[in-house]
């Protein structure tokens, strides 16, 4: 089961220096369940996401969603990363309907990280 795998062996846990010009940081939360997700991307000079890290405080589905999206965005352009939909995350992890909000958080977090990076670069 992919949720359990990503929960027990989460990929890319950690953080980058927030002030680094090549780093975009997205912090989102879901008051309904208390989940908080911090997702960071490290972008190369040619606009490709080289690396991604996350720290998530929440349920297994939230951690699994964060872990999966950090894997998916590596090697993608910012626009390609923005095209990742929560439905794809939910489908990949086979999330039950009550946990769909976890995949939405992951989508929101990547959007926030890209927006933060672009703001640093006046894009």
CA distance 48 to 34: 32
CA distance 74 to 71: 6
Of these residues, 37, 52, 102, 110, which one is catalytic? 102
Is 104 in contact with 33 (CB distance < 8 Å)? no
Residue 33 bears catalytic tag:
yes
Residue 59 bears catalytic tag:
no
Task: Count CB neighbours of 6 within 10 A.
Answer: 22
Of these residues, 30, 33, 36, 100, which one is catalytic? 33
Structural tokens at position 70: 């950090």
Residues belonging to the active site: 33, 102
């Amino acid at each position: 089961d992919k949720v359990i795998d990503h929960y027990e062996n989460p990929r890319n846990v950690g953080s980058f220096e927030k002030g680094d010009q090549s780093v975009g940081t997205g912090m989102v939360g879901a008051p309904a369940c208390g989940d908080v997700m911090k997702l960071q991307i490290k972008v190369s000079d040619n606009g490709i996401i080289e690396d991604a890290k996350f720290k998530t405080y929440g349920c297994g589905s939230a951690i699994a969603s964060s872990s999966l999206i950090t894997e998916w965005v590596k090697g993608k352009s910012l626009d390609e990363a923005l095209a990742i939909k929560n439905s794809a995350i939910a489908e990949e992890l086979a999330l039950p309907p009550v946990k769909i909000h976890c995949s939405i958080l992951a989508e929101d977090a990547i959007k926030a990280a890209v927006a933060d990076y672009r703001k640093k670069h006046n894009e």
